[in-house]
Amino acid sequence: MAGAPKAGGKSGLIQYKPGDIMFNQNDPADCLYIIQKGQIRLFVPKGKGFVDIAILRSGEVIGEMAYFDSKSARRSCSASAIVTTEVIRVSFKAFDKAMSGLNPWFKTIVNTLADRLRKTNDKVRELENNSVGFGTGGKVSTYKFFHTVDLLKILGTLYLVGKTHGEEVDGKHQIHINKLKYYLYDIYAIQEIKYEELINVLKEEHYLTLANDEDNLPKVVQFHDLEGLRSIIVFLNQERMKEDEKKMKVSAKCERVLGKIIEQLRARGEQADRAGVDISAILEEFKEAQVGITDEDLTDAIKVGLCDDLVVGDYNKLTCTVYYKKLLKVFPALRLQNAIEAHNAKKAGGNKYA
């Protein structure tokens, strides 16, 4: 990926941004890494998708297999940063000096174990088809990182476990990640990378916050609206049962207009089921901010029944009637739906392994 730090060079501290590639499968290997801070995902590209291997965190080591593999000093998988990550790069030359003081038979044992582990990994990868969809005739279809079922499993687990085992602290419902892990991974077999990436999306979109625990680690999940999360789950489950042409979808631009409509109605303390909205004022606000949004971008909202057709009044002022309570109910789900689609589009493009 452009802008990622170079893997080669001397030993020392390196920082990676979210999405930066540390190395790719089959790259020549001349060093190992010790993670100081952050998260690194290991994966193998497969078709238009990939097979996830593991997520590594602070205190763990990456790239040591290539040192002990006498047959091929190349990377057995790819690695990328999930969040801002700091690693210490240790060149194989420097590591070899440390190993030279050990008994010769120790390296022989480790080489044998490394070879067996690599063969096992290769067998597993042959059987994996994780995250790769197949169309007619066995052809690979459009790649999609998050499927609706993935979202329902993860969001459902967050809600149910948070509701059952969480606690109210300073007006916020929260739960420690250690309480979630048993259900996430052991009970529902949710892939760790999908949970981690969805949590990042939920953070970016302000559905939740990660607070520090007693060990000063960001492992406390704080929900901004736990019952609102349940409404999103219900919405997604209902939508997945519908035919494509009947699903409630709005464009990203329409979503922004709807967000401004909610701001306008909240500012005047609106409580009614239906309310009139000054669309001209909203469009003027976008124009001043040099955002390319027009009245045409409200079309999706009209089609899905969130508002009526635009009305042109005196001095060409645009207004419309909005089904306010219905909008408030579905807007968080529509916003998350668009965020997930954007994430999937990014993954399906040049950055899908990032």
Domain boundaries, the chain: 12-127, 148-245, 248-348
CA distance to 89, 232, 238, per residue, from 333 (Å): 42, 5, 12
Q: Tell me the pTM.
A: 0.65
Residue type at position 99? M
Q: Is 296 exposed, middle or buried (0-12, 13-18, 19+ CB in 10 A)?
A: exposed
pLDDT of residue 307: 96
pLDDT of residue 3: 46
**Under-70 pLDDT residues of the chain:** 1-11, 47-49, 68-72, 102, 107, 110-111, 114-143, 349-354
Q: What's the angle, vertex CA 225, arms to CA 189 and CA 243, rounded to 5? A: 60
pLDDT of residue 249: 94
pLDDT of residue 62: 85
* Domains 148-245 and 248-348 alike in fold: yes
Looking at domain 148-245, does it have CATH number 3.40.50.300? no
Instruction: Please tell me the distance from the alpha carbon of residue 197 to that of residue 16, in angstroms, as a whole number.
Output: 17
pLDDT of residue 350: 47
pLDDT of residue 167: 92
**Residue 223, token pair as written in the block:** 């929900």
Q: Give the number of other CB atoms < 10 A from CB of residue 300.
A: 19
Q: What's the angle, vertex CA 74, arms to CA 71 and CA 75, rounded to 5? A: 130
Class level of CATH domain 248-348: mainly alpha
pLDDT of residue 75: 84
pLDDT of residue 59: 82
Residues 6+ apart with CB under 8 A from 265: 275, 277, 322, 324
pLDDT of residue 242: 86
CATH domain 12-127 topology: Jelly Rolls (2.60.120)
DSSP-derived pairing of the beta strands 311-312 and 218-223:
unpaired
